[in-house]
Structure 1
Amino acid sequence: MDKRSIFAAVVAAALLVLAAPAAATADVGAGTVRVVDRDVDYTPDKPKEPSLAGSRVDVVCLRDAPWITFEVTLTDPDRQSTGDRAVLVISDGTHEVSLPLGTLASGRVAGSVLWPGAAVSGGVGTGWPGWVYEGGQWRETAGNFAWTRGDVRAWIRVDPELAVPLAYPPATSGCAAPTGSIQGRLAATGTSGDILLPLVLAGAGAAAVGLVVVLSVRRRHRV
């Protein structure tokens, strides 16, 4: 083969390489070959967003005290969450309160907290939202988180957030509200002591009148 033929072959080979739509490189090592196509855009997998799915809150009454029980579960396979402290946020659109629930361990935390405005002593309820003890009597007030007994929204916040249903429990035998009397308890119906007292007096008066009538009738029969 003469020099012209060799030169023509080299030029043809160079043109083929330049005209190729994609160039490839091979990495050889440990008996493996990896081919990388430089004309293909590489798009990494999108990380999965963290989720609080399955987390929940409930309201229970224990010895006249309203408690919020909770179970928070964070699913974060790609470690996208930037927080590890769970908080329960309650709002009526005007007011807002945040209740710390604790620090997540292995993506989970569970427990219970008192309803805002509630208090206990020796495990027994001694304070309730919207009530204040003054002058030996319980009185309703617009303070002490009274708004939490109305229509509220709630959500668990870690990173991300999750809306959860929540409402103040109705009066029951296990979750009584305070009374106007010094004894500090209401019946399960929620009737105040100021209303109960006249009813008791009226009942006692009616019983006394009935007793007088019965005795009078008996005396007439004897005569």
Structure 2
Amino acid sequence: MPAVRMKSLKIVAGALVAAALVVAPLVTAGATADGPTAPPTAAVADGVPQLVKWVPKSNGAAYWEDLYSAHMVKCYKVDGPNSSGHGSVSTDGKTVTLNRFDQSWPGDHWELLVIKAGDLWNSVIVHPAAGVAYDSPVNNGGQQAQVSHWIVCKGQTPEDQPRAVTPTLTWTLPSCEGEGELFQTAGVTWLSAPGANGSTIWMATPAPGNVFPQGVPTQWTVPDLSKLTENCGSDEPEQQPRPQTSESSRTTVDCTSATATVRTTTTTAEFVWDETAETWQPGEPSSSEVETDRPLTQAELGTCPLVPGEIQSVCVGDVPYLGYAVSLPEGLVVDSSTPVTITFVNPDGEDYVVANQPLSGKLLWPGASDGNPKMWPGWDLVDGEYVQTDGNFAWTRAGVTVEFEVNPTYATEVEYPQATVLCANPPVGSGDEPAGTPTSTDAEALAVTGGGVSPIIVAAGGTALLAGVAVVAIAAYRRRHARAE
């Protein structure tokens, strides 16, 4: 047959095939055996797998080259679940992943990927993307089958279409003899911007007439290559690690001098080169100590005890009181003129607590009353007569611990006035004098000496102190936190 006629027939045949590709229905995962026998055309969405009915001749790479000759493709077949320089099959044998397209290869992009599995279908992907795991087709049982072979084709973008370019950027570390190098894909416009820690951010955009495939990276961060020099044969790395350091401190509070002593211990371990392990190792640690003094903080002053003055029971007329004076630790500042809380500690029950008191003054004894009728602790008024009782704070008569608290605390034991003192008990019996009333001589003596009454007690309204003062056992004041560490 003449050559001209053969060429005409080939053109006609190609047109028929192209027409068949346009009108042939594409097959999905649920397609039947009546699906198309030709691959999808470039009109199909890029990177979308399509099931195409298997025919024996579709097993050859030339079959696909003929169908895609318009893009000047070169196809390669890989038998079985094997890998090649173009891509690889997963360990379970059910997916194929292409490598990044090398611009030194024929063509300029991946044109086609054909995955054969089972005995019914080819899975055909037009313009597959590198790095994507494409599934094999299903077998006649509807299960994903093992890859029996796969075919990959390279394409050349026609001159009237944008050329597909995959941007890549790699670099080498500087050696002892030279500097590091960057390798950037041609046909790409590269822009740079400074990054963190001396690095450089490179951004890629297509040069005129070129396009990037979908999903390819377009930005890279390149470290400062001048700081990544390869080891030039030295027995030690270029930079010794910084020493390991740790600090600990201990604070001692002295309330007497209102100072705090801080002892700071610093431990340092230098790194030394280990010839055997060929690495830096922490050396023996060494310690140093520094001691400094500073004034106490308000919080620290709050741990110091109150400073006591005279604290004792007193009588004003026939009424018992607690007279007291305490001072704040030197330097402590409070925001109230009545910061003191006074507590009579009940060893067997509920305490008696009075808040918002000044730093010095007198406080009516628990169970006592200076009004009408007057009352005394351990006594009750029944049918107009005073009778003794275990109630009405009788527990305060045998010596009681009294605590004074602002934030600092002070505690001491205070004795109730003795029975011979005028204010100890109420008047009882047939007479008008209270039981245990002192003689006139005793009264005169009390009036003269004051019975040891503290000068902190001031008789209100000019009232004289008529009764004596009980024996007071003022214990050495205790400190809640005499020395805080």
Q: Which structure 1 segments of 5+ residues have no match?
A: 23-38, 190-223
| Partner of residue 141 from structure 1, selected from 362, 376, 389 | 389
| Partner of residue 52 from structure 1, selected from 300, 305, 322 | 305
| Alignment root-mean-square deviation, CA | 4.0
Cα deviation for residue 44 of structure 1 reads 7.8
Cα deviation for residue 78 of structure 1 reads 7.6
Larger Rg: 2
**1:99 and 2:353 are equivalent in the alignment:** yes
**1:61 and 2:315 are equivalent in the alignment:** yes
Give the SS at the match of 2:426: coil
Give the SS at the match of 2:395: helix
Paired AA for residue 87 in structure 1: T
Structure 2 counterparts to residues 135-174 of structure 1, below 5 A:
135-174=383-422
The 2-side partners of 1:61 and 1:137 are apart by 22
Aligned to 2:436: 187
Aligned to 1:221: none
The 1-side partners of 2:382 and 2:406 are apart by 39
Cα deviation for residue 20 of structure 1 reads 5.2
| Partner of residue 89 from structure 1, selected from 338, 343, 368 | 343
Residues 52 and 73 of structure 1 are in contact (CA less than 8 Å); yes or no, is this contact kept in structure 2?
no
Residues 379 and 392 of structure 2 are in contact (CA less than 8 Å); yes or no, is this contact kept in structure 1?
yes
The 2-side partners of 1:127 and 1:17 are apart by 87
The 1-side partners of 2:325 and 2:332 are apart by 22
- Structure with the bigger RCO (C-alpha within 8 Å, sep 6+) is 1
Residues 70 and 111 of structure 1 are in contact (CA less than 8 Å); yes or no, is this contact kept in structure 2?
yes
Residues 70 and 112 of structure 1 are in contact (CA less than 8 Å); yes or no, is this contact kept in structure 2?
yes
Q: 1:63 to 1:16 in 2, by over 3 A?
A: farther
Give the SS at the match of 1:50: coil
Q: TM-score, normalised by structure 2?
A: 0.28
**1:18 and 2:240 are equivalent in the alignment:** yes
Residues 117 and 128 of structure 1 are in contact (CA less than 8 Å); yes or no, is this contact kept in structure 2?
yes
What does the per-residue CA deviation read over 1:72-106, in whole Å, with 9 as the maximum and x for residues that have no partner? Answer: 32327588xxxx842222234212333325256xx
Aligned to 1:41: 247
The 2-side partners of 1:78 and 1:173 are apart by 39
Q: 1:41 to 1:88 in 2, by over 3 A?
A: same
Aligned to 1:118: 368
The 1-side partners of 2:433 and 2:387 are apart by 10
Paired AA for residue 344 in structure 2: I
The 2-side partners of 1:55 and 1:145 are apart by 25
Residues 51 and 75 of structure 1 are in contact (CA less than 8 Å); yes or no, is this contact kept in structure 2?
yes
Q: 1:114 to 1:41 in 2, by over 3 A?
A: same
Q: What is the identity percentage for the equivalent residue pairs of Structure 1 and Structure 2?
A: 25
The 2-side partners of 1:76 and 1:95 are apart by 35
The 2-side partners of 1:78 and 1:127 are apart by 39
Cα deviation for residue 115 of structure 1 reads 0.6
Paired AA for residue 110 in structure 1: S
Paired AA for residue 319 in structure 2: A
The 1-side partners of 2:389 and 2:332 are apart by 48
The 1-side partners of 2:332 and 2:397 are apart by 39
Cα deviation for residue 174 of structure 1 reads 4.3
Paired AA for residue 91 in structure 1: V
Give the SS at the match of 2:240: helix
Paired AA for residue 247 in structure 2: D
Give the SS at the match of 1:147: helix
The 2-side partners of 1:177 and 1:156 are apart by 26
Count residues with an aligned counterpart. 161
The 2-side partners of 1:92 and 1:103 are apart by 20
Q: Which structure 2 segments of 5+ residues have no match?
A: 1-175, 178-228, 253-296, 439-485
Residues 150 and 168 of structure 1 are in contact (CA less than 8 Å); yes or no, is this contact kept in structure 2?
yes
The 2-side partners of 1:45 and 1:142 are apart by 49
What does the per-residue CA deviation read over 1:30-52, in whole Å, with 9 as the maximum and x for residues that have no partner? Answer: xxxxxxxxx35264856635223
Q: 1:64 to 1:18 in 2, by over 3 A?
A: same
Aligned to 1:203: none
Q: TM-score, normalised by structure 1?
A: 0.55
